[in-house]
Structure 1
Amino acid sequence: MAAGDEVTSPELWRCDPDELGELLQEKEKAVRLLQVEVLDIVAAIHRGNVGKTLGHRNTLGMLQDLLRLSPTEATRRYKRALNLCPSQALTGETLAPTLSIASEAMRRGELADSQIDTIVGVVTRLPARVTIKDREEAEASLVEHAKRYTAPGLAKVGRRIHDHLDPDGPAPSEHENQKPRRELSLHTGRDGRLNFTGSFDSETGTLFSEILSPLAKPRPAENGTPDQRSVSERNGDALAEALNLIADSGKLPTQGAERPHLTITINWDMLRDRLGVAYPHSGAPISPEGVRRLACDADIIPMVLGSDSVPLDVGRNERLITPALRKALIARDKGCARCGRPPRWTRGGTTCSTGPMVGILALTIACSCATAAIA
């Protein structure tokens, strides 16, 4: 059976692997050529302002309304039509496409939609100071690389082109010169989990990545089992460890005449029995088990409250693990007593005896992997 013969779906199983491969390529090329016709129609709609004539918001609105496209897909087709289809001058003369080299390749069925979008993005983002000749050479290079690379590979080629033609990058605005753009939005959910989104400038982003990288490395278990955490989970654990290291550095500025601290009020019976929930001053709930972990390296301040929660007596804070005792624990334990992490990632903690709580404290050095208990 020739590759060009019509094949209905129920008969495809009769084809051998080579025939299926050829058939797939042929049909994909046919689809791409049809897409070119669609883009030519979109370009004509744009030139004639047909969208508003037919009662749509604009060309994008017409694409969304008639073809039921999402705003994202409609925008992609619109950009392809503007850059890869002929336009018309005021005198009525037909003008060549902005990206004529990519347009010719597209009309031969050689470019996938994702490759077209990548090429358009790379070339149109080149600064105005790049000469026409350099633009054309960049476009030709991308089209040639498209014969071997998918869109992600083309994006890497595009970055190298930008680095060559625009090594200094876009000139920062006056506002950006005054202060780099760094944003971080925080939202605490009802369950106490903190969700955040944001973006950093390239310098801060590079520093952030370099800090997380060594902390996010896969850590096999003691029995040699590979680390089962996903990349996102390892990054989350790495950020938690980085925050602990920062908090322990002693170099953070003061706030309210104190170093950064977390104040938690919890009933003694609740702390001992691990039942109920505690609330720090921020309002987010923390389980008693979480409070116990925090208390393993905390300043404990006993406070007696009256029936109306009025403080009757406030004690003095007492450090459970002094710097001198921590050094002794490091010398003895050589790191976390449970997982073996290095001393700089650990804290001095306390664990109770395995029997009933009888007020006997056993000192150990542990990181956040260990659950410390206060008896």
Structure 2
Amino acid sequence: MFENIAVEGPVGFLAAVTEQLAKLPSELWRTGNDGFADIAAAVDALAVQLDCTRVGLVQEAESRGVVAESSCASSTDWLLAHSEHLEPAEAARTVDVARLCALPKNQVMAAAISGGTLTVRKAMTALRQLGQVEHALAPGKREEALASLTVMAQTGYDRHVIAVGRTLMALVGADRSLERDETALRSLSSLTLCPLANGMVAISGQLDPESGAVLSAALDPLSAPNPSAPNPGEANGGRDPRPADRRRADALVELCRRATAAGSNAPTTTKAQIVVTIDYERLAGAVRGSGTTLAGQVLSPQTVRKLACDASIIPMVLGSEGQPLDVGRTKRLVTPALLAALWARDKGCTYPGCGRPPQWSDAHHVRHWIDGGTTSLLNLALLCQYHHSWVHQRDLTATVTAHDVTWQT
């Protein structure tokens, strides 16, 4: 039925697809448990393709004068008039991406869109990041930079695309553009508390990268899932019932309570630690570049040197091949220095498909210490509590290098 798009026309084809998709939820009971992952992947691919189809639709409608001949004042208005579920901001992004991808200089991005492998939102994020650095790029380097941003947009989250953009800013920043950008962003930091009619207090604001790194390092350990967390009237069955935003809110309040209770006395707990990875030459100022926190914030070498004066900062200086140095010990327990190296290399749970951050993960001995396994970087891997149990239950092993961990599942 779906092979007849040329006969049925796009509208008939899409109507048939929509009709069949509407039946999918009621048919899921026929699917075996091992089939749900494939369905989720197929639905995701379809959602991206529909996003990209809108871009192609706008391009064709503009080029053929359909929008100009309509009563709509703009392409965004035209798209909204015929897309009742579309938000104005999303419509505007779609039109912007359609026009930018029509330019010959953005062919790399256009190919990803036409291939249905890139969402409009992440395409716009990548193009905005490119706009911040293209004035400083050497001749012929713009396409290479756009390709790097496009690949990250296809495979990562918005924050990863932004990190690539800020890294590019540092690499081309003979004029110290990243440091100047951090200074400019610092002046935009703000925080607002607004009492609401129901007694709640709304919090809104934004922080510069350095301040954001400090706050993330303080909140992440306190906002990890806690099976014993209270939630009146609800049994948690061993699982933290609080959603992520509730956990972060509780963590912020707990952080403030500890600070208030401490008063002018020294804190009873250690300060939140921020691990920043940076090449030695960049830290020394010999080459341009940047440092990166475990949460993905990109910081200038100047900021890293400033932060390194604080005992709560662990500068993870990388070797010549970009690997954290092994700080192995003969004893069983993982030292703080080794844990920092482990966080820097793994950046979170290493089990395939898991995205839990390092603050929620344990250091696992690939070859158990009781079997002669050493407590060193090449015998350790980060695993969240769930996958730590999973690996032990199934006696799984992994191949560990200075740069990554590959599980044999």
**Please, what TM-score do these two structures have when normalized by structure 1?**
0.46
Greater fraction of residues in helix = 2
**Please, what TM-score do these two structures have when normalized by structure 2?**
0.43
Q: Which has the higher contact order (CA 8 A, sep 6+)?
A: 2
